[in-house]
A and B are shown apart, each in its own frame.
Chain A
Amino acid sequence: MLACSLRCDALGVTYRSQGGAPVRALAGLDLEVRRGEFVSVIGPSGCGKTTLLHILAGLLEPTSGSFQFFEQDGRNSRTALVFQENSLFPWMSVMENAAFGLEMHGVGKAERERRASRMLERLGLAGRERDYPRQLSTGMKQRVAVVRAFVSQAPVLLMDEPFAALDRQTRMRAQRELVELWESEKKTVVFVTHDVDEALLLSDRIVVLSGSPGTVLAEYRVSMERPREFLLGPDEESYELKRQILASLGLMTSLSRYSVAL
């Protein structure tokens, strides 16, 4: 069993809405992620998925409960974010964007460019280092954002629907590349998505959140071997899992005779 990477205990966030009424975004959320694990968080929109990532990224204080990282190196950032859009700084070149995390932690220019260019090359971005983001397609931009997360020394990657804006073909390619990178770089990934197929394709474990306030509704272990190509034709195991997840999201009420694994 792998060591624990991060743990949330009864995490809760309440903020005041414009009208002054308190809104509970998260309530009593427990989550444990092991080192090197790929966990997807799925749930209806407005269930606090993004709020959870913001807390883990250190951008938001929870109003109740606590969370803890179990990573040794306290000098580096513990997490590296990838957003759906606005991930890249428009005023920095591809190389400067990709090496940003290293730069912020004082890695010398030659060394950080060496590390970033190796990873850029792996994702087919060699030769684009001096380009600015506006010169790249959406797919390329997201790949650079993924590179930046992997190149940074952060052990935990937080991804907020990074491929949601991509067309289907580009997304499939990006998903495959992400899994390959993750397998070779051994990082912990918390991946927020609203796409059950994507979660099944990528993750070791899928956490389903309930709608407002967000709390863990169900968890599913995905043990199928990688690379997973089952989207071409669903096999028995993924089919059953998908049905259970959709049921727990309340999207398959007619099949409620199948028990929901809580």
Chain B
Amino acid sequence: MTKARRLLGSAWLIALLLACWEAMSRLRILDPLFFPAPSILLQTLEKLTVSGEVGRQVMNTLERTAVGFGVGVICGVAVSVALTLSATLRRASEPLISALYSTPRLTLLPMVMLLVGVNDTARILLVAMGTALLMIIQISDAVRAVNRDFVDMAVNYGAGPLAVIRKVYLPACLPQGFTALRLAFSRALVLTISVELLNCDDGVGSMIWSAWQTFAIEKLYVSIALAGALGLFFQWFFLRLERRLTPWKEQPA
């Protein structure tokens, strides 16, 4: 009952907006050429799904996102560990990381393409860079925030350096680490779709751009909704994972 009610509580506004859109489009208050009714869009989605285009494009996008995200997380964590261990390295790289972090990632695409060529490697590399930068900033922050008392306590009870990392640093940084993963994945997805929109022949992003250029309005809306749905799904997925893996945290109601 409560679950159904909660679902209803977060769905009614969307349902109302869709209903208004449907009505206005059908009554031609909105130009149906620019704003086709949601029911028609649903048919378009079905058609594109059956033809296999939706699955193919979503897979293309997810593949780029996943590889870029994976490489980015691994590099980001590795760099974070190095920065934690070496104060010299940390001081030297801080301005560089801050500068890169404040530059819109997409603007770096031409530079990356000059470096590795106009291909998928460049696109994925950009996604990996975006992921890695976010991970580095978040993890360094989490490590800095670990309470000294916990480290002292563990050392006093006989923990060696490895045990301190495993029993204190890792679990203490885990919650923020998950938040970082969640943010980094949505960042990676946004970046992938943006890159596809800008320069690519396949993927959800290119689907949006080619629909716009060929004035396939229905397809345009469907592909935009797909991009949104992907983002929403993974946001939910990482939140679930986070709650499952950090049971000691107070859960927000």
Tell me if A15 counts as interface (CB < 8 A to partner B): no
Q: Are A58 and B157 in contact (CB under 8 A)?
A: no
**Do the beta carbons of B157 and A104 come within 8 Å of each other?**
yes
Q: Could you tell me the dominant secondary structure of chain A's interface residues?
A: loop
Within the complex, the shortest CB–CB distance from B66 to chain A, in Å, comes to 29
Q: Are B248 and A57 in contact (CB under 8 A)?
A: no
Flag whether B158 is at the interface (Cβ < 8 A). Answer: yes
How many Å from the CB of A119 to the closest CB on chain B? 15
Least CB distance from A221 to B in Å reads 29
How would residues 111 to 138 of chain A score, 1 for a CB under 8 Å from any chain B CB and 0 otherwise? Answer: 0000000000000000000001110000
Contacts of B40 in A (CB 8 A): none
Name the interface residues of B134-175: CB closer than 8 Å to any CB of A: 147, 149-150, 152-159, 163, 167-168, 171-172, 174
Q: Which of A49-86 contact B (CB under 8 A)?
A: 54, 57-59, 76-77, 79-81, 83, 85-86
Nearest-neighbor residue (CB-CB) of B155 within chain A: A59
Closest to A60 in B: B152
B248 touches A152 (CB 8 A): no
B 217-253 binary contact with A (CB < 8 Å = 1; else 0): 0000000000000000000000000000011101000
A88 CB, min distance to chain B CBs, angstroms: 9
Residues B157 and A101 in contact, CB atoms below 8 Å apart: yes
CA distance A98 to B154 in the complex (A): 12
Task: A80 to B157: give the CA distance in the assembly, Å.
Answer: 6
Given contacts A83-B149, A104-B163, A132-B247, contact A89 B156 (CB under 8 A): no
Q: Evaluate contact between B171 and A57: CB separation under 8 angstroms.
A: no
Within the complex, which residue of B150, B159, B168, B248 is in contact with A132, where a contact is CB–CB below 8 Å? B248
B152 touches A104 (CB 8 A): no
**Cβ 8 A contact of A105, one of B147, B152, B158:** B158
Which chain A residue shows the least CB distance to B152? A59
Are B157 and A100 in contact, with the CB atoms below 8 A?
Answer: yes
Does A234 touch B at the CB level, under 8 Å?
A: no
Q: Is the CB of A101 within 8 A of B250?
A: no
Contact A87 B156 (CB under 8 A): no
Q: What residues of A have a CB within 8 angstroms of the CB of B149 in the complex?
A: 83, 85-87
Q: Write the nearest CB–CB distance from B56 to chain A, whole angstroms.
A: 43
For A105, the chain B residues whose CB sits under 8 A away are 158
Q: Are A87 and B153 in contact (CB under 8 A)?
A: yes
Closest to A87 in B: B153
Select B150's contact among A79, A89, A104, A152, beta carbons within 8 Å: A89
Instruction: Contact check, A104 vs B158: say whether CB atoms are below 8 A apart.
Output: yes
By a CB distance below 8 angstroms, the chain A residues around B156 are 57-59, 77, 79-81
Q: Closest chain A residue to B153 by CB distance?
A: A81
Residues in A whose Cβ lies below 8 Å from that of B159: 104
Contact check: which of B152, B157, B167 meets A152 at CB < 8 Å? Answer: B157
Q: Is the CB of A134 within 8 A of B153?
A: no
**Cross-chain contact A81 with B248 (CB below 8 angstroms):** no
Q: Given that A101-B158, A104-B158, A104-B163 are known contacts, is A91 also in contact with B174, CB under 8 Å in the complex? A: yes
Apart from A59-B156, A89-B150, A104-B158, what are 5 other A-B pairs with CB-CB below 8 Å? A54-B152, A79-B156, A86-B150, A91-B171, A104-B157
Binding site for A on B (CB under 8 A): 147, 149-150, 152-159, 163, 167-168, 171-172, 174, 246-248, 250
**Nearest 6 Cβ contacts at the A-B interface:** A91-B171, A104-B158, A86-B149, A132-B248, A101-B157, A77-B158
Q: List 6 A-B contacts (CB under 8 A).
A: A77-B157, A92-B167, A100-B154, A104-B157, A104-B163, A133-B248
